[in-house]
Amino acid sequence: MSLGQAVASDRQLARLLQIGVVLEEMVEASAHHHVREREQALDEPVAALLEEAATESARHRERLEALIAELDADSVAYEEIQTLVEAQYASDDEFDDVLYDQLCNEETAYKFYDDLLGALGATDDDPVDDSLADETAFSIDRDRLVATLREIRAEEADGVETVTDTMERRA
């Protein structure tokens, strides 16, 4: 068991970035599912929000995949996650509320990147914690890694805000 939150190796980092890819793929697959299944029922603002969420997640996924490739690891095929997400929707009618489902997706992604940055000693926008940097010699540039994760986290925070605003306007 590993106590504490340090990410200390390429392998551990690559695995966490793979989890990030899966979370992004879940957002993409969910958004596509809702748009496809409810095309007529969705009003224009919600459909546009879902399309934008899917596009943004695909962009995040590509940025994570670039980092994973530099760590000499493989990404996770979108089709595999899409199949699992579709199976979940088919077996569970819990996700009728499209906006709430989307909010959960965005919040989960934000929390994941926030925790990962915390484990890298880079939660705030301050310079990276050098004491942790000494313990974590990744084969990719640490500053670029942190900058990428911070940018993605900020976009997830915006996403949470957008969905929340949309939900409140419709309340």
Give the binding site for other proteins (CB under 8 A): 1-5, 7, 11-12, 15-16, 18-19, 22-23, 26, 76, 80-81, 84-85, 88, 104-105, 107-108, 111-112, 115-116, 119
Q: How far apart are CA 20 and CA 32, in angstroms?
A: 19
Let me know: does 36 contact 86? Beta carbons within 8 Å. Answer: no
For 103-127, what is the HEC assignment?
HHHHHHHHHHHHHHHHHCCCCCCCC
Least separation, in Å, of the C-beta of 19 and other proteins?
A: 7
Residue with tokens 């925790």: 115
Q: How far apart are CA 118 and CA 100, in angstroms?
A: 27
Could you write out the DSSP letters of every residue in 116-158?
HHHHTT--SSSPP-HHHHHH---SS-HHHHHHHHHHHHHHHHH
Least separation, in Å, of the C-beta of 44 and other proteins?
A: 28
Least separation, in Å, of the C-beta of 97 and other proteins?
A: 15
Least separation, in Å, of the C-beta of 171 and other proteins?
A: 23
Instruction: Give whichever of 46 and 110 is closer to other proteins, judged by the CB atom.
Output: 110
